[in-house]
Amino acid sequence: MCTETDVLVIGSGIAGAAAALRLARDRQRAITVITRAWDPEESNTRYAQGGIAARGPDDDVDLLVEDILAAGAGLSLPPVARLLAEEGPPVVERLLIDELAVPFDRRDDGTLSYTREGGHTVSRVLHVGDATGAAVETALIRRLQELPNVTLTTGVTAVDLITSSHHSQDLHAIYSPITCHGAYVLHRQTGEVQRLLAPATVLATGGIGQIYRHTSNPPGARGDGLAMAYRAGARVINAEFVQFHPTTLAFPGADNFLISETVRGEGGRLLTPDGRHFMDAYAPQWGDLAPRDVVARAIHHEMLTHRYPHVLLDLASQMDAPQIRERFPTIYQTCLDAGIDITQEPIPVVPAAHYFCGGVHADAAGRTTLRGLYAVGEVSCTGVHGANRLASTSLLEGLLWGQRAGHDIASRSDLRPVDPDTIPPWAPASIHGVADPVLLTRDKRAIQNVMWLYVGLARNTHRLARALTELDHLWGVIDNFYRATRLDDNLIGLRSMAQTAWIVTNAAWHNRQSRGAHYRQDAEAEHFASFHDTEGPLPNSVSE
Ligand code: SIN
C-alpha cells in the first residue's frame, strides 16, 4: 500500500500537534498525523504536570534567557534561548489561551496564576492544577480533529524513514544529499506496512525515558524517532545529557509517578528520612529550587551516603490540606491510592530518568541535516536546553518549534514529492515467527538495567565501558531477533531502545567532562562547585 500526503507528522504530542495546526491554515494542504498509541492524546505531553513557562508579572525576556542559560550549564545556545524566551510566551497567549481556551488556573481576581519551579528566579509557570500537559493535549487534539485537511490516525507505528539514498531504486540517488520522503509505517491492527510518502516529514516522537529502569515517562518513550533519524543519517547531538527528575514517587507499583517540581515551587521541602533538610548545603543560593541536575544529584548523594531507600518531600507542613487538594489533585489522589495522605505526611521520593536534552540536531526552523526532515520537541536538539533543561520549558519549546517548523514548511517550494515508483514496497525480513514475549521482556529489562546501573546519574569510565560492551552484545542479539521475526510494535520499540541506549552511552563515553546532566565521577566538575565546596567529593561507587 502506498499513500501520498503533503506533510507527514510522526507523533501527536504538543510539538507534532502545533506543527499540524500551523500547516492546516492552508486548507489545500493535506496533513497526515500518525501516532503509535491507540489514544491520540497518549504522549509525553499528557504527563507533564507542572506547567508551561510563560511571562510572569515580574518577568522579562532577559530574565528567562538568564535562567535557561544558567540551568543549561554553559551549553545552551544563547540566540536560541532568546528565541524561545521572546517568541514562546506570546504563542502561549495567542494559541493556548486565546484560540484554544486552555483553562489555566487563575487567581480570585481572574488574572492568571503563575508558579515557580527549580531554576526559575521568578514565578512564570502557567498550570492547570497538576495536570497541565493533559489539559493542553486535550485542547490541541480536539482542534486537530475538527480540521478537514488533517488526518489523525492512531495505532500506526513508524518503522523507518524513507530516504533517497537508502531506498530509492534509482542507483545514482546515493550521490545526492540525503532527502527524506516520508516513512514506512506499520498498521498495528492489520500488521500491514505502508509507504507513507511526503515531501516534508516532521519527527515529533518525544523522548527516550523507557531505556532506563526507572523513568517518569510513559511506555511510548522508547527513542523510536531518534533511532530512525540516526539510521537515516541525520546528525544526533548532545545524547549524553539525560535529565533525571529529582522527585518521583518511591512506592512499589507506583511506576515512578512524577511528583511535580511545582510542589517545591509552592513551598515543599526535601528532607532525609530522619527529618534533616539538606538542599541548602548543596545549593545555598537556591535551596530546594536549585536546577534539576543539582537537586537530583544531591538526593542521590544523600541516598548513597546514608543508605536511604528514598528521601522525603514534605508539603503537609507548608500548605493546608484543602489548598493541597485543590492545587495538586492528581498527585494527592495518586499518593492516597498508594496509602500516603500528602496533607498529613511527607511523600517518599527518588530520582528517575525524565527528559532527553540531546536529540536530532534541528535549527531555529526545526530543519535537520536531512532534506525534507524536521524534528521538533523532545526528539530534537535545538540548543535551548544545553546540558540541563530548565523546568517547564519542554512544552514551550515543543509548542514554539512545532509552529516554527509548520511555518517554514509552508513557506518552501523546493520540497517536491518523490515519484512513488522509485520507492519499493516494504520488504519484510520475516513473515513467520511471532515475537516471543519472554524474549521481548527480557531484552528490554536487560537494556534498562544496563542504562540504570552504568549510564545513570553518576557515570565513570569503568561503568561506561561495561555498558558499551553489554549494549554491543544486546544490539547483535536484538537485531537478529528483529530480522527473524514478524514485525510488530513491541519489536520496533525494542530495536529503538537498543539503538538509543547505545547512542546515549557512546556519547557519554566520549564526553569525559562533567557538565549539567552528564556527571562523570572521574572528571573535574566545574558546574558542581557548590557540591564540592560544601560536601567534599561525591562518592566513588554506587551500590544498587
Ligand atoms: C514537573 O512538573 O516537575 C515536570 C515539568 C517539566 O519536566 O518541566
Mind giving me the DSSP string for 365-400?
T-B-SSBTEEE-GGGEE-SSSTTSPPTT-HHHHHHH
Ligand 1 centre to CA of 262 (Å) is 8
**Over its length of 544 residues, how does the chain's per-residue pLDDT go in tens digits?**
889 999 999 999 999 999 999 999 999 999 999 999 999 999 999 999 999 999 999 999 999 999 999 999 999 999 999 999 999 999 999 999 999 999 999 999 999 999 998 899 999 999 999 999 999 999 999 999 999 999 999 999 999 999 988 888 888 888 989 999 999 999 999 999 999 999 999 999 999 999 999 999 999 999 999 999 999 999 999 999 999 999 999 998 888 999 999 999 999 999 999 999 999 999 999 999 998 889 999 999 999 999 999 999 999 999 999 999 999 999 999 999 999 999 999 999 999 999 999 999 999 999 999 999 999 999 999 999 999 999 999 999 999 999 999 999 999 999 999 999 999 999 887 777 889 999 999 999 999 999 999 999 999 999 999 999 999 999 999 999 999 999 999 999 999 999 999 999 999 999 999 999 999 998 754 444 333 333 333 322 222 2
pTM above 0.75?
Answer: yes
C-alpha span between 283 and 299 (Å, rounded): 12
C-alpha span between 330 and 2 (Å, rounded): 43
Q: Which helix (H) or strand (E) holds 478?
A: helix 461-483
Ligand 1 centre to CA of 132 (Å) is 10
Which atom of ligand 1 is nearest to 391's Cα? 8
C-alpha span between 332 and 363 (Å, rounded): 40
Please calculate the CA angle 230-351-493 and round it to the nearest 5 degrees.
Answer: 30
* Nearest CA-CA partner of 360 in 345, 343, 347, 376: 376
* Nearest CA-CA partner of 153 in 179, 180, 183: 183
Distances from the Cα of 395 to the Cαs of 74, 84, 99, 134, in angstroms? 22, 11, 17, 11
C-alpha span between 217 and 497 (Å, rounded): 14
| Predicted pLDDT of residue 524 | 55
Pocket test residue of 68, 117, 217 for ligand 1, highest count of atoms within 8 A of CB:
117
C-alpha span between 357 and 387 (Å, rounded): 7
Residue with the nearest Cα to atom 1 of ligand 1? 260
292 catalytic, yes or no?
A: yes
Rounded to 5 degrees, φ, ψ at 459 are -120, 155
C-alpha span between 495 and 479 (Å, rounded): 7
**CA dihedral angle for residue 485, residue 233, residue 208, residue 153, rounded to 10 degrees:** -70
Q: Which residue has the cell 506499520?
A: 186
Q: Which residue has the cell 537485531?
A: 479
| Predicted pLDDT of residue 1 | 84
Ligand 1: lining residues by beta carbon, under 6 Å: 48-50, 260-262, 355, 391-392, 394
C-alpha span between 299 and 532 (Å, rounded): 15
Ligand 1 centre to CA of 540 (Å) is 29
Q: Is the dihedral of CA 171, 176, 178, 182 positive or negative?
A: negative
Ligand 1 centre to CA of 216 (Å) is 10
Q: Which helix (H) or strand (E) holds 196?
A: strand 193-197
C-alpha span between 497 and 485 (Å, rounded): 17
Which atom of ligand 1 is nearest to 259's Cα? 3
| Predicted pLDDT of residue 455 | 98
Ligand 1 centre to CA of 51 (Å) is 7
Q: Can you list the domains of the chain with their CATH numbers?
A: 2-240+357-422 (3.50.50.60), 246-351 (3.90.700.10)
C-alpha span between 416 and 439 (Å, rounded): 42
Is 411 in contact with 29 (CB distance < 8 Å)? no
Q: Is the dihedral of CA 12, 396, 266, 278 positive or negative?
A: positive
Which atom of ligand 1 is nearest to 117's Cα? 3
C-alpha span between 159 and 178 (Å, rounded): 18
Residues constituting the chain: 544
Catalytic residue among 188, 264, 292, 515: 292
Contacts of residues 318-326 at CB distance under 8 Å and 24 or more positions apart, as own/partner, are 318/266, 318/267, 318/268, 318/269, 319/266, 319/267, 326/129
Q: Which residue has the cell 497538576?
A: 130
Which atom of ligand 1 is nearest to 130's Cα? 2
Is 43 in contact with 137 (CB distance < 8 Å)? yes
Is 45 in contact with 137 (CB distance < 8 Å)? yes
- Bridge partners, residue 151, by sequence: 32
- Bridge partners, residue 153, by sequence: 34
DSSP assignment of 45-62 equals: GGG--S-EE---TT--HH
